[in-house]
Structures are given as C-alpha cells and as structure tokens.
C-alpha cells in the first residue's frame, strides 16, 4: 500500500495516555486481473507514465480533503478545498519525474516475480494479518486480492473501503490507528491482551464517531438522569462516581440500541472510558468476511468493548476501570416479540461477589424507548419456522462459545440471529442511573447467600427504574420527534431539548 499520511498517530487519547510506536504497512499483489497487467512488455513501453499516474493517484478530492478541517462553514470549506487542490495537483503531475518509465517497468516485473514467491508460501503464514482493500482501486484489483488472502491466510481480517481509491491511506477520513483499534489488531507484546493493549479513543476518533452518529442522536434526543446519594434525581451523570472501580449494571435493548449514548456521554461528561462486556461471538471470526466494512462492532471496540469473561472482569476491576455489564446479555439484546424492557437474568449472583472483592461501586441503571424506535416483526420464534433461515441460524451457532459453561437454561442457550425490524417515527431514549451501591468493606458479600440478596435487590431496582421511566415519559412534551424538531429549529440542533421534571 502507499505510505501513510495519518494525522493522529501521535495524538493524545481521551481518558488515557498514548504510546509512540512505528507502523509499517506493505501490500503485495498476488494476481494480475487488470487488463494492463496482461499486456506484453513491448506494449507497456507505449504507455506514457502520465497515463499510469492518472490511475495511481486515486481520488484527488478525497486526498485534498485530508488537510481541510471538519465542521467549517460551507463557503470556508470550499475555499480550503480549492486551496488544497491547487497545491496538490502540481505534485501529482510530477509523478513522471519521480517514477521514470524504465523504473516503473522494472518495479512491475519485480512485483510479479515476488508475488509468485509469496503465493507459494501463503499457507504457512500463521501471523495475524490485517488487509485494507479499496473498492475503487483503478490500478490494482484490491477487492479480489482481499477475497483471496482472506481465504488463504489462517488468521486474516479484512476491512473493505468501497468508495476509496488506490491511495487509501492518503484519503480524508482514513485513520490507520483507528482501524487498528477497531479491529483489535494493535498489541504491545507477542500475545494480544484485551485489557492492557487497549488504547483509548483520540480526540479525532471521538469527533469522527460523534459525527457519524449525529443523526441518531438528533432523532432519539437521549435523556440521561442519575441519582445523587441523597436520592435526588438530576439530569446529568453527577450521581455516578468519578473514580473506579465502578460496575454499571442494566437492561439491554434490542440489538444494543442504547449503547452509543452511554459511551459518548461518559466520555464527554466524566472523561472516563467504559469497558463494555460483550458476547465473545462479536469479536470472533464468525462475524468476519472478505468484504467487511467498518462496523458498529469496530466502533464499540474503539470505545472499549471486550469479550465478557470472569478473567477480563477481574483484571478490569483490579485496574480501577468503569465496567458495563448486561447480565441478560444476548437473551435481552435478541429478545422475542412483546419482551421489550424485560429482564432475563441468570439465577446465580455472578458479578456481586467479584465487585465486592475489589470494593467496586455498583450503579444499577435502566433505559427505555426501544418500543418508540423499532417494531420487531421477525423474532427467533418466527425465523426458526422458516426452513432455509433455520438452517442458516443453526450453521451460524455451531461454533458460538457458551459464556456459562455447565449451565443449561434459556439464557445460556440463547441462539444468535438477526432480528427483523421495521423503523418507527422515532420517539426518545430515557436513561436513569440509580443510587450507587458501595461494596467497600462489605465482607458479608463473600457469602453466596448475602450476595444473592443484593443481586435480587439490584434486579428489582432496575425493574423499578424501567417502570418509572415508562410512566414519566408520558409527561414529556418533547417525546414526539415533531415537537423536538420544532424546538431544535428555533434553538439549534446542539441545544439540549427539555423533558419531564424528574
């Protein structure tokens, strides 16, 4: 691949510190499917280097946009882009001087012979490989090569950029370090460690994710409350402790619709990273394909998500982290019709005793609003009665790792599937973080019986919060998106839309 012009490799990270290191990116083509690779040497000599250069430079506009600041007024953006293009185009026209025709032909022959050598040894490569492929590469068949490498290499991930050209890493919006963090490829030692290898999102990451999610936030206008120690409910996160270890425990919405606002608000207001515990299948090869684009899972990984395991939780607590846990897990995130806002928790108090061991503060929370956003039309019960979908679900779940080994119940045996939903005219998301529960010095929680009592109290508190939010949202004059849009049209889309009085 071309050299990297990444602007954020040394940028400070939010909620942590960054490490300095060197990233080397290389790309070797295996097959020659483009028409010009089939030309004999004599015809290659007839091609002008300028013609070759026009194929190699990619999209000049995207390259020029890399030096233009985000969120500028429209007129200023056009002015900056014009200046950037004016300075860039003369450099591109000098490609013939940089790569003479004889040098170009020599490099192509070297590439061809080198590719033959590499292809014969691909099966022996065991190292972790990340392939970045462009969808509009006019010089090399990047997409086809990504398909081949993904099928040939044992430990390969692909991220496909369908609208990018040959000079992928020079284009605006492509941040190599962000891609490494999203694909969980960055590591500090020989073996990958989900806890110590994590790099917090940079300011650039935060702005990019916020920009991509802005319409979701505008459409749902999340309302976030917390509970102070004296029991008062306030519209911010003042009731949540500033220092960890903290365990946030709550209810999961369908396909995790509630996640983005939680991550973003904690990062914005509390300046802390939440380490969300997710089902291991989300981070496994099961979700990988040879044309996978940047996904929500990548974004969650950038924000700190990692596989839910007792060891990961133990190590996070020992480092004083903020941990997000959904005891209902996939069963709640992939619930059936009519099960909105319902808890599906296991019988055993899995997290209480570990939290007490480290003196972690437990903060129960509830969230409602899924029923105002989407309509579940095809759930698991519907899909398992459709023969070809049933077979696909069974195949998909063959290699899924069970989280609770030795437990045979509905929660542990949840089948992974993709719910069929229809969007609604969006309502509003409502969050309430309950009164913090201190476990520091509570040695009585070492006993399973006492831990189970607290476990049931936390579950009851979340159910109470859900009922409270469902009742109070009826008092919100801005629950309807039309009313919110009229308010924002008057006060600006960045203005906080009022809600009910808690």
Calpha distance 161→134 (Å, rounded)? 5
Instruction: Name the DSSP letter for residue 230.
Output: T
- Calculate the CA 389 to chain-centre distance: 27
Which value, to the nearest 10 degrees, does the dihedral of the CA atoms of residues 179, 181, 182, 183 take?
A: 80
SS3 202: strand
Query: H or E stretch including 250?
Result: strand 246-250
Which residue in 322, 303, 320, 301 sits closest to 263, CA to CA? Answer: 303
**Angle 432-434-435 (CA atoms, 0-180°, nearest 5)?**
150
User: What's the Cα-to-Cα distance from 184 to each of 20, 333, 448, rounded to whole Å?
Assistant: 17, 23, 36
Q: Please say whether the beta carbons of 213 and 202 come within 8 A.
A: no
In this prediction, residue 245 carries a pLDDT of 97
Calpha distance 66→384 (Å, rounded)? 47
Residue 293 has pLDDT above 60, yes or no: yes
The pLDDT tens digits of the residues spanning 462-479 come to 999 999 999 999 999 999
Residue 47 has pLDDT above 60, yes or no: no
Burial label for 111, CB within 10 Å (0-12, 13-18, 19+), is middle
Residue 379 has pLDDT above 80, yes or no: yes
What fold, for 213-372+424-491?
A: Glycerol-3-phosphate (1)-acyltransferase (3.40.1130)
Tokens standing for residue 386: 């459709």
The pLDDT tens digits of the residues spanning 192-245 come to 899 999 999 998 888 888 888 888 888 899 999 999 999 999 999 999 999 999
Residue 26 has pLDDT above 80, yes or no: no
Residue 302 has pLDDT above 80, yes or no: yes
- Contacting residues for 317 by C-beta, under 8 A, at least 6 apart: 245, 247, 323, 354, 355, 357, 358, 360
For residues 97-108, give the mean pLDDT.
70
Q: In what order do the strands lie in the sheet with 430-433?
A: 233-234, 223-227, 430-433, 361-368, 246-250, 322-325, 274-278, 306-307
pLDDT band at 116 (very low <50, low <70, confident <90, very high): confident
Q: What DSSP line would sit under 265-328, residue for residue?
A: HIIIII---EEEEE-GGGGSGGG--TTPPP-HHHHHHHHT-EE--HHHHHHHHHTT-EEEE-TT
Burial label for 156, CB within 10 Å (0-12, 13-18, 19+), is buried
pLDDT band at 484 (very low <50, low <70, confident <90, very high): very high
Q: Please say whether the beta carbons of 459 and 422 come within 8 A.
A: no
- Contacting residues for 252 by C-beta, under 8 A, at least 6 apart: 258, 326, 328, 329, 332, 333
Which residue in 326, 329, 330 sits closest to 458, CA to CA? Answer: 326
Q: Choose between 123 and 433: higher pLDDT.
A: 433
Residue 52 has pLDDT above 60, yes or no: no
Calpha distance 384→405 (Å, rounded)? 24
Could you state, in order of their start, the residue ranges of all structural domains in the chain?
35-182, 213-372+424-491
In this prediction, residue 181 carries a pLDDT of 94
Q: What DSSP line would sit under 89-143, residue for residue?
A: HHHHHTHHHHS-HHHHHHHHHHHHHHHHHHHTTGGG--S-EEEEEESS-SSS-HH
Residue 49 has pLDDT above 60, yes or no: no
Most confident of 100-109, 294-303, 398-407: 294-303
Most confident of 26-30, 64-68, 245-249, 481-485: 245-249
Residue 352 has pLDDT above 80, yes or no: yes
- Contacting residues for 278 by C-beta, under 8 A, at least 6 apart: 300, 305, 306, 307, 308
């Amino acid at each position: 691949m071309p050299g990297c012009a990444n602007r954020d490799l040394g940028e400070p990270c939010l909620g942590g510190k960054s490490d300095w290191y060197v990233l080397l990116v290389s790309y070797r083509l295996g097959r020659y499917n483009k028409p010009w690779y089939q030309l004999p040497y004599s015809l290659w000599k007839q091609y002008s280097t300028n013609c070759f250069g026009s194929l190699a430079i990619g999209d000049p506009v995207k390259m020029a946009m890399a030096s233009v600041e985000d969120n500028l007024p429209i007129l200023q953006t056009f002015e900056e882009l014009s200046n950037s293009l004016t300075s860039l185009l003369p450099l591109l026209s000098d490609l013939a001087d940089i790569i003479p025709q004889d040098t170009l032909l020599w490099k192509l022959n070297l590439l061809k012979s080198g590719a033959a050598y590499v292809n014969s040894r691909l099966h022996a490569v065991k190292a972790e490989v990340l392939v970045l492929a462009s969808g509009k590469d006019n010089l090399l068949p990047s997409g086809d090569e990504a398909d081949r490498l993904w099928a040939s290499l044992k430990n390969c991930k692909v991220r496909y950029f369908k609208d990018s050209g040959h000079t992928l890493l020079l284009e605006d919006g492509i941040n190599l370090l962000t891609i490494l963090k999203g694909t969980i490829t960055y590591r500090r030692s020989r073996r990958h460690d989900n806890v110590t290898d994590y790099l917090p999102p940079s300011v650039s990451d935060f702005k990019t994710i916020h920009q991509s999610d802005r319409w979701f936030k505008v459409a749902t206008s999340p309302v976030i409350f917390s509970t102070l120690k004296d029991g008062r409910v306030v519209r911010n996160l003042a009731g949540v402790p500033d220092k960890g270890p903290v365990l946030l425990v709550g209810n999961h919405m369908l396909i995790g619709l509630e996640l983005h606002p939680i991550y973003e608000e904690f990062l914005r207001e509390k300046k802390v990273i939440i380490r969300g515990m997710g089902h291991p299948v989300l981070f496994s090869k099961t979700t990988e394909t040879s044309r996978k684009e940047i996904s929500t899972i990548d974004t969650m990984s950038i924000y700190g998500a990692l596989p839910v395991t007792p060891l990961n939780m133990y190590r996070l607590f020992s480092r004083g982290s903020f941990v997000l846990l959904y005891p209902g897990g996939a069963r709640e995130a992939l619930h059936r019709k009519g099960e909105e806002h319902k808890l599906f928790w296991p019988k055993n108090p899995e997290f209480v005793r570990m939290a007490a061991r480290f003196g972690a503060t437990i903060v129960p929370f509830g969230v409602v609003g899924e029923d105002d956003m989407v309509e579940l039309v095809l759930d698991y019960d519907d899909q398992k009665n459709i023969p070809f979908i049933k077979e696909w679900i069974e195949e998909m779940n063959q290699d899924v790792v069970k989280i609770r080994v030795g437990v045979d119940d509905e929660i542990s045996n949840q089948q992974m599937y993709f719910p069929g939903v229809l969007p609604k005219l969006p309502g509003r998301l409502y969050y309430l973080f309950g009164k913090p529960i201190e476990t520091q010095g509570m040695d009585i929680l070492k006993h399973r019986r006492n831990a189970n009592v607290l476990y049931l109290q936390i579950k009851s508190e979340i159910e109470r919060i859900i009922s409270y939010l469902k009742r109070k949202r009826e008092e919100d004059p801005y629950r309807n998106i039309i009313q919110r849009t009229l308010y924002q049209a008057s006060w600006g889309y960045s203005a906080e839309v009022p809600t009910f009085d808690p």
